[in-house]
Amino acid sequence: MATNALLFKNYSYRDDPNVTDFDDSRPIIVFDGECALCSAFIQFVIRHDKFEEFQFTTGQSSLGQALFQHYDLDTVNFETNLLISKGSAYAKMSAFSQTTSLLPYPAKFFSLAKYLPSPMGNWLYDLIARNRYRLFGRADSCLLPDSNLKKRLIE
Instruction: Tell me the pTM.
Output: 0.81
How much is the average pLDDT of 59-67?
93
The contacts of residue 20 (CB under 8 Å, 6+ apart) are: 62, 63, 66
Contact yes or no for 143/42 (Cβ under 8 A): yes
Residue 5: predicted pLDDT:
44
Sheet holding 55-58, edge to edge: 55-58, 28-31, 82-85, 88-91
Which of 6-10, 33-37, 123-127, 133-137 shows the lowest per-residue confidence on average (mean pLDDT)?
A: 6-10
Parallel, antiparallel or unpaired: strands 28-31 and 55-58: parallel
The amino acid at residue 10 is N
Q: Could you tell me if 83 and 95 are in contact, meaning their C-beta atoms sit under 8 angstroms apart?
A: yes
Residue 145's pLDDT band (cuts 50, 70, 90): low
Residues 2-57 pLDDT 10s: 444 445 678 899 999 999 999 999 999 999 888 777 888 888 999 999 998 999 99
CA 13 – CA 86 distance, rounded (Å): 12
Residues 69-121 pLDDT 10s: 999 998 988 888 899 999 999 988 888 989 999 999 998 887 887 887 778 87
Ramachandran category for residue 92: left, alpha or beta (phi over 0 → left; psi -120 to 50 → alpha)? left
Residue 147: the pLDDT is: 63
Residue 11: left (phi > 0), alpha (psi -120 to 50), or beta? left
